[in-house]
Homo-oligomer: A and B are copies of this chain.
Amino acid sequence: MTAADAGTPRERYRAQVRDEVKLHAREQIAAAGASALSLNAIAKRMGMSGPALYRYFANRDELITELVKDAYRSLADAVRDAPEGAGVAEFAHVLRAWALEDRQRYFLVYGTPIPGYEAPEDTTLIASEIMAVLLRACAAEPPAAPGTAAPDTTALDAHLAGHRAWAPDPAVPAAALSRALAVWTRLHGVLSLELSGHFVGMGFDPAELFAAEVRSLTGR
């Protein structure tokens, strides 16, 4: 489960320690945010001295990057493991469940970026994997419900038709692209504000708002 079973005993031990470090890191991040993560504190909690951890992670940034990658991976797994042929509604449900399970993990992926920090290739690859799942869900579903009219995305569709570096597969129609972007941005909009606590004093149930947004995206 924790990827600590491969090769020589030394490698296994190494992987085990790395996993334990990440475990404590996740706890620390959940408690006080990513900016409060301290290698020193983790080392002490593991019963070893600070510099020892530098055998396992080159620096603090590498540990955080690792956690970001894990978070991405975890989200990609979650949306990919949805039942075959699942649609936008299922995607939304899985996303929300994943986000609520650990809000700091969500922010690791979609939170405020640090200026100058460039996401490594790996994470952008996983990101496009997530996007691929969403695109598949959008393409497989009726582009709009019969009764209700879909929002007019023809102008956007035209633009996307010529700027689809992120979805080069010509089998995916342009309408699916704009739909995927709408799903992504709208769900993120509601989720992000909910997880940030911006709805706290307002009195309504964020789940209702999310559900309404999903309905509007799936054409009721």
Chain A interface residues (CB < 8 Å from chain B)? 30-36, 104, 107, 110-116, 124, 127, 147-149, 151-153, 155-156, 159-160, 163-166, 178, 181-182, 184-190, 192-193, 196-198, 201-205, 208-209, 211-213, 215-216, 220
Question: Could you tell me the dominant secondary structure of chain A's interface residues?
Answer: helix
Are B32 and A202 in contact (CB-based, < 8 A)? Answer: no
B contact residues around A163 at 8 Å (CB): 202-205
> Complex: how many Å from CA A124 to CA B36?
25
Of the A-B pairs whose beta carbons lie under 8 Å apart in the complex, a sample of 20, sorted by A's number, is: A32-B114, A33-B112, A35-B114, A110-B196, A111-B112, A124-B201, A147-B149, A151-B220, A152-B215, A159-B204, A163-B204, A163-B205, A164-B203, A165-B201, A178-B212, A185-B186, A185-B189, A185-B193, A186-B186, A188-B192
B contact residues around A155 at 8 Å (CB): 208, 211-212, 215
One of B30, B165, B197, B220 near A113 (C-beta < 8 A): B197
Given A188-B192, A212-B155, A216-B153, residue A203 in contact with residue B110 (CB < 8 A)? no
B contact residues around A190 at 8 Å (CB): 185, 189
Other 12 A-B pairs with CB < 8 A, given A156-B209, A166-B203: A31-B115, A33-B113, A110-B192, A113-B196, A127-B198, A148-B149, A151-B220, A166-B202, A184-B193, A185-B190, A188-B192, A189-B190
Closest to A166 in B: B202
> Complex: how many Å from CA A113 to CA B185?
19
Are B115 and A33 in contact (CB-based, < 8 A)? Answer: yes
Are A112 and B112 in contact (CB-based, < 8 A)? Answer: yes
> Complex: how many Å from CA A116 to CA B156?
41
